[in-house]
Each structure stands twice: as structure tokens, then as C-alpha cells.
Structure 1
Amino acid sequence: MAKEILRMEDVTKIYDNGFVANKNVTFWLHESEILALVGENGAGKTTLMKVLFGLETPQTGKVYMDGKEVKILNTLDAIEKGIGMVHQHFMLIPSLTVAENVVLGVEPMKNGLFDFKKAVEMTEEVAKKYNFNIDPMARVSDLSVGQMQKIEIMKVLIKGAKIIIMDEPTAVLTPQETEELFEQLILLRNSGHSIIFISHKLEEVKRICTRVTVLRHGYCLGSYDLKDMSEADISRLMVGRDVVLKIEKEDPTVGKTVLKIRNLVKNSASGKRVLDDVSFDIHEGEVIGIAGVEGNGQSALSDVLAGMESFSSGTVELNGHDIKGKNVHEIRQMGLAYIPEDRMQYGCAGDMSIRDNIIADRYFKKEYRNGLFINHKHIDEIVDQYIKDFEIACDDKREPVRMLSGGNIQKVVVAREFTSGSNFILANQPTRGIDVGAAEMIRKTIVKKSREEGTATLLISADLNEVLECSDRLLVMRKGKVVAAFRKANEVSEEELGEYMLGLKTMTPEEMEGLL
């Protein structure tokens, strides 16, 4: 029987606003195991781990390590006790080298000055021990996302962590980078480390973990042996109902061209070419997916199409109108609906109510007004209907959006954009960091709108499963160019996509003829 090295017992954490994040949660971890921690957004996973890492103080609960009760006062105390956390958003300084990042917090000194040579030696030692193939002298800004993930793990290891918390570690990795990460995690497990693996990707949970602990609405539903469970079993526990993990869709009926992009070029402020001669069309009734490792032009393309950024040359026409020089509001009037990558910064106003966020783009239209005045009764009826249709979990439509969980905030954004009457939807990471239930609803709605209303959709997503499930045609971007195109997304494997994303393969213009 494996030795228990950590137990959290009856942990309750209630935030100042009255939100109960964890309610009497009991959680344990064995030596040399990879344990999955799963649950919908707002289920309390991150809060529980913040308690363990000393970032939050619970109202009640005890923590035992190796059978002895311990108090974790803060993050330094957690690190001292051998607990490390690799956060979802990297905490790296891009202008520094790998070695300088790895030793942050445990900097070697010589005669009162930072000892760079020693930092490189320390980094090389950790890299060698755990098989991390990475150059300590490389600058972080020049590295791939997968390499940055490795540095985050090395930072935790160099501080002596035996228990490693990994929050959504594969969210932005290609299948090949995920494979490499898994090899490393298995190596860590085999050398005596214990890993808590938080993920929404259930096929990964099944592959790499032996046990799963499920949280729902702040409560722990128990821990289960994964060998006895299917992905459907896990998602049923997380959501409380059956979730369809596959989207059934018939072939699209394609209509007229809605978006026409020709020879689009954009240079960044520093003169780097971030969009390099991009050309393709999107028609009524189809969902076009874009896959690519983050930072290969997808965000730049999204910013240009939404009117957030200008472009250097080329043309973009939406419903026959040139968007050059137009602002966000003007492009929306031409028929754009936009789900931005960063929902809190661009998707909603956190302090405004759910109701006001949902009608922010239409209260000036005449059907929402009585003469000069806003027709509050009509708006309230519509908002109540949308809250029901989009399954937004809230106490009251007048509560500020920031009080909701990430998944529910995303549903507010989606409710507004999907009901705006637009015929072009630009969806950038529409289900990032949200639970399987909310993601299922959003994906089904994207497909449904294309099939039933003839909407044209551009879906940009780092989740390859999502791109393959929802898209009709599929494009791959690398270094600002379209390097591959597929007529039917569901006929491409994740591995093949990964090869194009990493630049191991590229299609010629002739091969892409007729697919753009």
C-alpha cells in the first residue's frame, strides 16, 4: 500500500463576499503518484490548491504531512515544506536567461554579487537529473511554450519540492509537447515526487493519473481509481449529468462569402512580421478552425478582424465592406460578433451587472426603447430568457459579472455575442479554462448557429480537440503564415496537426489550392 504523504481534512474556505469555495473537503495524496483533481470551473480546485500552497487561509481544516499536522503560513512556508506550484499562467521574466529564471528566489551569491556561473551549474544539474533538454544560457523570450513549461517545473524542483501542483499544464501545448511533458512527469513520479494534476482534458487524466478526486460546487464527491472509470463517468460526476464529448454534425451547406481576406500583412511595433501574406475566405454556414502554437499570428489575426489593431497591407472585407480604418463599433455594425481571448479585459465590464453586460451592444436600438427611454421591462424579459437558455448560474441578473465563476462569465459574453444578430462570429479561445459542461454548450451553439442560421464562424483555439470537433475546414498557422489547410477537420489526427504546428511539415501553395 502506497504511503500517504499529504492529507487535507475538512477544509472550508468562504470568501469575503460570501462565496463558499470549499466546503468540508478532504483530500489525500500518496507518495510517487500522479493524482488528478477535476471539477467544473468554480468547483473549488484552484482555491483548495491555494490553501495548500499558502496563498489562502481557510476558515476550518487541517493539513497533515507524513502523518503530522502542519500549519502552512504562506508560500515561502509551503516551499520550505516541499510543496511547489506550477501556475496556469507562467511566472517567467522573458528578458532573463533560463538559468536566471530557474534560480529566482534561491539565487547563488559570491562576494555579495549574483553568481551567474553557479546559477548555470545548478540549472544544468536539475536539467540533467530529470532529463530536461534545455539550454541554461538561452533567453526565455526566444523559447517555445513547451520549453517555458519545463522552466516552471525546474524552478519548483530546484527549491526541493516533493509535492508538485500543476494547474492546467497542457492548456497551450501541442500533442508532441504534451507527450514530452508526460514523459517528464512520469520520470518525476518514478523518482519519488507526487504530482497533483489539475486538468479539464479527461483523456489526459485517464492516461497519466492513477486516481482522480472530483469536486463539484465546492464539495468533494470522492476519490476514485481511474482504471475503473471512463471519461464519461468522470464528466458525469463533475457536471451532475451526461455530457456529450463528441459533437455530431452534418456537412455544412455553404452560402455566399462573408469574410474575404487577401494578402494580409501586419508588422508589430518592433517591426517583426506577425501576419505574413494571409489569404482565405469564410462563407455562410461554415465553421473555419485555426490551429497553431500560441504566438504564431492567431491573436494578431483576431485583433485585426475585430478592429482592435490596424494592419500594414492587404485587404479584409466583411459582408462586402472594407474594414480598413474602421473601429470596433463600426465593424460590429457590419456584422461582427466577437468572443475575445481575454474575457475580463475585453469581453465584459466586471463591475457592471449581468443584465447590462448582456445588452451592452444593443440598448440603443429602437426595439429596446420606448421613444427616448430604455424599455426596461422588455430588456428584463429578454435577459431572463438568455440566463435560462445559456444556463448562467447566478443569484440575480443585477449582480456584478465579476462575482461569477470563469465559466459563467464566459456564458454571459457568449449569450450577448450569439444573440447579437451578426452573421460572422469571431471566437478566440471560446472555452479556455472553462469546465466541460459550459464548453459543451458553447461548442454545440457554434455548430448549431452555422447550421440553422447560416452564420460564418472563425474559431481560433489552442484546444485541438475543440478545433477538430467543431470546425468544417481547418487551417494551421505558423510564424504568421497559413502553412496547411484541410477540407474536412474531422479527417485530420491531432498528431498530424502537431507536425504542421511545430513546422515539421508544411504544405505548398499548390497543395492548398481550393482549400482557402
Structure 2
Amino acid sequence: MPPAPSRQGECVITASSPPAVELHGITKRFPGVVANKDIAITVRKGTVHALIGENGAGKSTLMKILYGMQKPDEGTIAIDGEQVSFSNPGEAIARGIGMVHQHFMLADNLTVLENIVLGGEKLYGIGAKARKKIMEISDAYGLGVRPDALVEDLGVADRQRVEILKVLYRGAKTLILDEPTAVLVPQEVDALFDNLRELKAEGLTVIFISHKLGEVLKVADDITVIRRGTTVGTADPRTATTKQLAELMVGAELPSPETRESTVTTTPMLQVKGLTMAEAAGVTAPLPVAPPEGATDDTYVHESVPVGRLLLDNVSFTIHKGEVLGIAGVEGNGQTELIEALMGMSTPHAGVITLDGTDITKTPVRKRREGGIGYIPEDRHRHGLLLESPLWENRILGHVTEAPNSKKGILDPKAARKDTERIVREYDVRTPGIDVTAASLSGGNQQKLIVGREMSHNPKFLIAAHPTRGVDVGAQAQIWDAIREARREGLAVLLISADLDELIGLSDTLRVIYRGRLVADADPATITPEELGTAMTGAASGHLEATDNDSAGADGDATEDEAR
């Protein structure tokens, strides 16, 4: 008797149905490195299949092969039981493979509908038929998209749903999601997992790439672990633990960002007062100017300048030597503008920035760098690396005038190369050599190179924006250790991260930013990720915990009145 079919929504999947994806003996070599070696993975139809592994393990290369971006040197690919060979992503899309990249590929100045139909105009046109199809898909999978909304007005979670709908619109039956929760707060992660369950219920298949092992266990039906380019095992999420998965991935226990000892001093390193920044526009609005020493909020001097929407609204805080100040917020709420103002990449309309007692409000970027500011950027590709340049040249980036990169105003390539080798060794950057391009490294190894470069100049103050985004548990531990060690030596750190466990674990002080304002503060010792996530969405303000925040008021941070 044939096996009884199992119903999932409107889709019928029988026990004898062929796997959605089968990869056998996949091998891919690059000059000096074997990215994939004899990889074998079977992905059951109508399931969420998690693919985990440390940075450089070969996950990205494998998915690029499945998506037609690269061809394997050896091995076979089967889709729905039929062997295939893809020469480009168009062929993979035609066979029902869709990929949502970690870095979204949407045009901000276009509507949701325009982004979805872009490049797929032949499917349903660009008018009423396309709109109808978009709404059908949105309703079927609970995505809740608004076709006429401008993408630039959407939050991160909404943008992600647009990306998912975009591949479904093109007929994808198997979705590859690359680090889909990296920029989401806990509530948004739960909503995404609900969406994935809807996809499964309709018989769609999801390949879920993530470094967040707790989330993997929560959402996956099957787990495959890759280490050093080959499959080392599978795990059942019903019985596996994060510790077991971490040991399979890197041969070590899961690291924790928790910082037990306090190293906070009473010496201010960075002071920010009344920092305000706005979009240029033909509207005149009052902007607060930082008050003179001893003045109260009531005695602020105000001036009127032509501005539009406020991107930073009277932001004030102090970071002391040996202190990590964590800023929590959904992306797009002023974090980028705050970083650019502190680095000197943009000029605020009002406010004062003081570093180690020196006013640097109008100091150029290079002088700030030379004055002791380190910078781990939120987007390593745009602001941290020259992707087509070798590693030793990237080691110089941002520190051209400083030793060992230069001597008496002249570049010293020999010394820079030697120090790059040290960074590669000490920070475990997986690379065949320092002459390969930065683009040839995995994302996590690129990040370790950046962290090594910035920490090598013994900064006084470090801006760490998403320092472990997209890196594996082993690399996470190394980056956390580097920050903790420098903190013990008196480093002041501004930590911006979407990883709430990281924020809570590393921070001595926590602030929540919402629509350009510091609206709440929290005690890292007692706050939970869920409570912090609620505040990040604007649902809570003021003091999230009953803690002594006298210093916050003195420094001009978010007070109860300010939060209201």
C-alpha cells in the first residue's frame, strides 16, 4: 500500500516525494584554497533546513553554486529529483530557486510594487495584474506588504518581507535565506518565523543560513553542519543543544558576550551634548544648541535653521574610560547619523563633541583618527574595506599617516605587510596569504581583519557598529575578547548592535534610540532581550529598570521629561 500523503495547507507532500534539493560530492576550488570539498546535503520538500558553520566553512560558496552564481568543479545538483546544471541565477530562478541576500537589494526611491516587478516585467506586467499577484502572494503567506509604500519608508523587517515576496513572485519553490535575522529585534524574528511556517504549510522549502544557534533550533526541521569546506554531520533540532551544535561547528563551546567585572572609571573619554542633525529642507524649525557648562534644559539657547526631518534630536551622553555604552535601536533610527557625526563624516546642525577633553566637533576625519578614534563600520564593504585590494593595503586603510603604515610622512609598505601578517596570525584570519584581495575572504574573516586593524592602533575610543554581524561563534569570541581586553586597558566603546544578547552582555550602560532620540535607558544586569526589543519599537520609554541613573541625568541623557 502506498504511504498516505501528509497535508500542509493546500499542498500535498507524500513520503515518496523526491527531495527539493540534493547536493552530492560538491567540490569547488579557488587559487590557494578549497572552498567546498565533497559536500553532500539533502533538503526535504516543505521543510526549513538550516545550514550552519564557521566563517570560511564554505556556506556562501555552496549557496552561490546552488543559485547559479558559480559552477562546481565536481559534484551534482538535483532539483525535485532531476539533475540540473546552472550557468547563471536566471536558470536557477527558472527552476524555482530564490535567494534573499543578507544585504538587501532594493531601490529605496521606488515603491514596493516597483521593486518587486523590476526585472520581472514579462511575468505579470507592471499594472493591475502585477498588483493582484503581489497581493495574492502577500495574503497567502501572511507577509502583509503594502504595494504603494516607498521602500525608504520601510523598517528592516518590512524590507525583508519585500525581498521574500520578490523571489516568490518569480515562482521560487525553494528559498535561500542568508542570515535573515541578523538585523531583527526578537519580536520581528518571531514574526519572520511565523512567515516561514506559512511558507512550509504551502509546501515551499527554506534553506536557512544562520549563526544564531538558538534560533536555528527554534525554526529548523533539519540541520546540516559544515566545517572547513565539508559536511561534518547533521543534527535533529528536537534533541540537539546549542552547545552540541557549537562543538560540531568549531570544536568548542558556545561563547558568551557576558562581561563580569566592571572597569568603568570616573574619567570621561567621550562627551556628546545636544547633538542634532536634520535633513536639508525648506522648512525652518528650532534646533537646540548645547548649553554652556552648568546650564539646565530650561536655559538652552535655540536657533532657527532651514531643516527637514530630524535625524538626531538633541542626543547627549558620556562614555568614560573603561566603559562600553550600548545603543539599542531598530536600524534607521539615527544610528548611522550618530556614527557619521562622531567620525566627522557629516556635520551636525548643533551640539558639541568632546574627546578626552578636546572639542572635536569640527575636526576632520583624519585628525580624529590620529587622535585615537577606532572604527568598526556597520557596513564593512562600503566603509571598511577596498574589496579589490590586497589585505596588506586594507591594513593601511584609515591609518595612512600612522605607524607602522608610514614613516616620516612616507608610506612604508614593507612594515605594513609585516604587520598584516601579524594581524592575520593573531586574529585567525583564514586566508592563503596577505596578497589576496579582501573580496576573496568570507564575511567573518573580513570582519576579523577590520577588528585587528582598528585594535592595532590602541584607540582611546572605539565605535563598534555591529562588530560580530555575520560571523561565526568562534570569531565572535575572538572579537568580544579583543573588546573586553582593550576595555580593561581603559578603552571607551560605543557599541551599536542588532544582537541584543551581545548588547546586554558587553555593555556597562544601555541606551535606546528611537527616531533620532535617546528615549530610554536600561540596566544590562537585569534587562531581557524581549524588554529591550519592546523599547526599540517605541513601545516603552524612560527608565526600563528601577536603577540609579543619576549620572545619566547629569550627562543630559534621556530623562523622563525628554522621553515624553
**By the TM > 0.5 criterion, same fold?**
yes
- Which residue of 163, 169, 174 maps to 1:152? 163
CA–CA distance in structure 2, aligned partners of residues 92 and 2 of structure 1:
39
Residue of structure 2 in register with 1:505 after alignment? 540
Residue of structure 1 in register with 2:208 after alignment? 197
Matches within 5 A, 1:165-244: 165-244=176-255
In structure 1, stretches of 5+ residues that fail to align are none
Residue of structure 1 in register with 2:261 after alignment? 250
Quick one: structure 1 residues 109 and 66, their matched pair in 2 at CA, closer, same or farther if it must change by over 3 Å? closer
Deviation of the 1:161 alpha carbon: 1.9
Letter in 2 for 1:161: A
Contact 1:8 1:28 in 2 (8 A): yes
Deviation of the 1:72 alpha carbon: 2.7
- Cα RMSD, aligned residues only: 2.7
CA–CA distance in structure 1, aligned partners of residues 105 and 168 of structure 2:
15
Contact 1:2 1:30 in 2 (8 A): no
Matches within 5 A, 1:270-419: 271-350=308-387, 352-358=389-395, 383-419=420-456
CA–CA distance in structure 1, aligned partners of residues 32 and 406 of structure 2:
36
SS of equivalent residue, structure 1 residue 415: helix
Deviation of the 1:400 alpha carbon: 4.3
Letter in 2 for 1:195: V
Letter in 1 for 2:25: D
SS of equivalent residue, structure 1 residue 226: coil
SS of equivalent residue, structure 1 residue 99: helix
Residue of structure 1 in register with 2:113 after alignment? 99
Letter in 1 for 2:311: V
Kindly indicate whether residue 509 of structure 2 is the aligned counterpart of residue 462 of structure 1. no
Contact 2:242 2:254 in 1 (8 A): no
Contact 2:56 2:430 in 1 (8 A): no
CA–CA distance in structure 1, aligned partners of residues 409 and 164 of structure 2:
59
Contact 2:521 2:543 in 1 (8 A): no
SS of equivalent residue, structure 1 residue 491: coil
Residue of structure 1 in register with 2:37 after alignment? 23
Matches within 5 A, 1:479-494: 479-486=515-522, 488-494=523-529
Deviation of the 1:364 alpha carbon: 5.3
Residue of structure 1 in register with 2:11 after alignment? none
1:467-492: CA deviations, max 9, x gaps? 11111101111111111112x31321
In structure 2, stretches of 5+ residues that fail to align are 1-14, 282-307, 558-564
User: Which region of structure 1 is more displaced relative to structure 2, 310-319 or 17-26?
Assistant: 17-26
SS of equivalent residue, structure 1 residue 32: coil
CA–CA distance in structure 1, aligned partners of residues 157 and 499 of structure 2:
15
Quick one: structure 1 residues 472 and 60, their matched pair in 2 at CA, closer, same or farther if it must change by over 3 Å? same
Quick one: structure 1 residues 279 and 55, their matched pair in 2 at CA, closer, same or farther if it must change by over 3 Å? same
Deviation of the 1:371 alpha carbon: 7.9
Contact 2:396 2:405 in 1 (8 A): no
Deviation of the 1:308 alpha carbon: 1.4
Kindly indicate whether residue 142 of structure 2 is the aligned counterpart of residue 131 of structure 1. yes
Deviation of the 1:203 alpha carbon: 0.8
Q: Percent identity?
A: 39
Deviation of the 1:207 alpha carbon: 0.4
User: Which region of structure 1 is more displaced relative to structure 2, 251-260 or 67-76?
Assistant: 67-76
Contact 1:247 1:444 in 2 (8 A): no
Quick one: structure 1 residues 272 and 320, their matched pair in 2 at CA, closer, same or farther if it must change by over 3 Å? same
Letter in 2 for 1:462: A
CA–CA distance in structure 2, aligned partners of residues 210 and 172 of structure 1:
23
Quick one: structure 1 residues 352 and 34, their matched pair in 2 at CA, closer, same or farther if it must change by over 3 Å? closer
SS of equivalent residue, structure 2 residue 457: coil
Letter in 2 for 1:278: V
SS of equivalent residue, structure 2 residue 342: helix
Deviation of the 1:54 alpha carbon: 1.4
Quick one: structure 1 residues 369 and 246, their matched pair in 2 at CA, closer, same or farther if it must change by over 3 Å? closer
Contact 1:319 1:335 in 2 (8 A): no
Contact 1:266 1:313 in 2 (8 A): yes
Quick one: structure 1 residues 48 and 454, their matched pair in 2 at CA, closer, same or farther if it must change by over 3 Å? same
Quick one: structure 1 residues 90 and 405, their matched pair in 2 at CA, closer, same or farther if it must change by over 3 Å? closer
Kindly indicate whether residue 93 of structure 2 is the aligned counterpart of residue 57 of structure 1. no
CA–CA distance in structure 2, aligned partners of residues 465 and 164 of structure 1:
27
User: Which region of structure 1 is more displaced relative to structure 2, 67-76 or 252-261?
Assistant: 67-76
Quick one: structure 1 residues 312 and 408, their matched pair in 2 at CA, closer, same or farther if it must change by over 3 Å? same
Residue of structure 2 in register with 1:473 after alignment? 509
User: Which region of structure 1 is more displaced relative to structure 2, 400-409 or 368-377?
Assistant: 368-377
User: Which region of structure 1 is more displaced relative to structure 2, 212-221 or 65-74?
Assistant: 65-74
Kindly indicate whether residue 97 of structure 2 is the aligned counterpart of residue 83 of structure 1. yes
Contact 1:39 1:238 in 2 (8 A): yes
Letter in 2 for 1:461: S
SS of equivalent residue, structure 1 residue 176: helix
1:153-180: CA deviations, max 9, x gaps? 1122222222111111111111111111
SS of equivalent residue, structure 2 residue 451: helix
Contact 1:100 1:119 in 2 (8 A): no
Contact 1:266 1:274 in 2 (8 A): yes
Quick one: structure 1 residues 341 and 122, their matched pair in 2 at CA, closer, same or farther if it must change by over 3 Å? same
Residue of structure 1 in register with 2:285 after alignment? none
Kindly indicate whether residue 17 of structure 2 is the aligned counterpart of residue 7 of structure 1. no
User: Which region of structure 1 is more displaced relative to structure 2, 153-162 or 288-297?
Assistant: 153-162
SS of equivalent residue, structure 1 residue 204: helix
1:121-164: CA deviations, max 9, x gaps? 11111122112223223222222111111111112222222211
When normalised by structure 2's length, the TM-score is 0.84
User: Which region of structure 1 is more displaced relative to structure 2, 200-209 or 391-400?
Assistant: 391-400
Contact 1:319 1:334 in 2 (8 A): no
SS of equivalent residue, structure 2 residue 339: helix
Instruction: Give the number of equivalent residue pairs.
Output: 510
Letter in 2 for 1:225: D
Contact 1:340 1:428 in 2 (8 A): yes
1:369-392: CA deviations, max 9, x gaps? 888988888777655544333222
Quick one: structure 1 residues 370 and 189, their matched pair in 2 at CA, closer, same or farther if it must change by over 3 Å? closer
SS of equivalent residue, structure 1 residue 459: strand
1:446-485: CA deviations, max 9, x gaps? 122212x011111111221211111110111111111111
